[in-house]
């Protein structure tokens, strides 16, 4: 077992032990390492900000503070860069700025050596800049999250411009672009709006009517909900 995997397993064992805690000897036996190694790992978790407590003497042991949030334990430089590259390449995706903030918080808890190696490797990856403005995306994201009607200025393929009030239903990526899909109150129908063609967007005070995702229809070929997770092909 690699050290990063062992640290994660150790933190989960401490979490499951609850208030009673677990002795270093028991942790070492379960993970197949020495007590000395376990104590080094516990020190590493503590240094990384994990809420580890210890209780000396007979019946003592180690555990995690109740209700505490455990920070990320360890990432390799390549894993850290993979997160950076993913959010950087998806700047025109929904909630991309929040994703970037989340990744930065994860990287901030890494050890200095891993951080330095990750930054060096990240300098070897270039990504294209976002096509849709962050101001437009912020309005669309807010309308979606707060379930409110969004007013957009939309430019059609033929150059015709219209202002529409839309009940946001979902965001979708298809054919290399991001779309806002929602109930268009101007056309009284479900419509797909390419975000690149939305010149302006503002959130109104009007609550949107609830249209289920099923009203949109089936996803395009190859598309899937985000909560299904990425498809990871098996290695051969």
For residue range 161-215, list pLDDT tens digits in order. Answer: 999 999 999 999 887 788 999 999 999 999 999 999 999 999 999 999 989 988 9
Helix (H) or strand (E) holding 54: strand 52-55
CB 191 within 8 A of CB 181: yes
Q: How far apart are CA 48 and CA 42, in angstroms?
A: 10
Domains and CATH numbers, the chain: 3-64 (1.10.10.10), 77-122 (no CATH), 134-228 (2.30.30.520)
> Is residue 47 pLDDT above 70, yes or no?
yes
DSSP element (H, E) containing 154: strand 148-155
How much is the pLDDT for 132? 64
| Dihedral Cα 157, 159, 162, 167, nearest 10 deg | 20
Per-residue pLDDT band at 234 (split at 50, 70, 90): very low
Q: Is residue 134 a contact partner of residue 140, using CB atoms and an 8 Å limit?
A: no
Q: What is the pLDDT of residue 170?
A: 93
Q: Decide if pLDDT at 130 tops 60.
A: no
CA triplet 40, 45, 51: central angle to 5 degrees? 130
How many CB atoms are closer than 10 A to CB 10?
25
Residue 44: burial class (beta carbons within 10 Å; 0-12, 13-18, 19+)? middle
pLDDT of residue 111: 67
Per-residue pLDDT tens over the stretch 135-146: 898 899 999 999
**Closest CA relative to residue 193, chosen from 226, 163, 225:** 163
DSSP summary character for residue 175? T
Please compute the mean of the pLDDT values over residues 145-170 and round it to a whole number.
Answer: 96
**Positive or negative CA dihedral for 20, 25, 30, 35?**
positive
Average pLDDT of the chain, as a whole number:
82
Neighbour-count burial of 168, counting CB atoms closer than 10 A to its CB (0-12 exposed, 13-18 middle, 19+ buried) = buried
Decide: helix, strand or coil at residue 204.
Answer: strand
């Amino acid at each position: 077992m690699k050290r990063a995997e062992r640290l994660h397993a150790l933190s989960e064992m401490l979490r499951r032990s609850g208030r009673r805690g677990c002795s270093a000897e028991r942790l070492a036996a379960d993970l197949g390492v020495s007590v000395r190694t376990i104590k080094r790992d516990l020190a590493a978790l503590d240094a990384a900000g994990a809420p580890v407590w210890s209780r000396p003497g007979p019946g003592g042991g180690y555990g995690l503070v109740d209700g505490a949030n455990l920070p990320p334990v360890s990432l390799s430089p390549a894993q850290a860069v993979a997160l950076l590259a993913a959010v950087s390449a998806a700047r025109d995706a929904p909630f991309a700025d929040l994703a970037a903030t989340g990744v930065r918080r994860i990287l901030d808890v890494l050890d200095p050596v891993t951080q330095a190696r990750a930054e060096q490797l990240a300098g070897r990856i270039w990504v294209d800049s976002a096509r849709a403005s962050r101001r437009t995306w912020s309005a669309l994201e807010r309308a979606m999250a707060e379930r409110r009607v969004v007013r957009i200025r939309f430019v059609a393929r033929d150059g015709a411009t219209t202002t529409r009030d839309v009940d946001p239903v979902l965001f979708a990526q298809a054919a290399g672009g991001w779309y806002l899909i929602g109930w268009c109150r101007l056309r009284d129908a479900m419509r797909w709006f390419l975000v690149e063609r939305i010149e302006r967007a503002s959130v109104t005070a009007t609550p949107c009517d609830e249209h289920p995702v099923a009203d949109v229809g089936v996803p395009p070929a190859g598309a899937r909900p985000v909560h299904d997770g990425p498809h990871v092909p098996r290695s051969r």
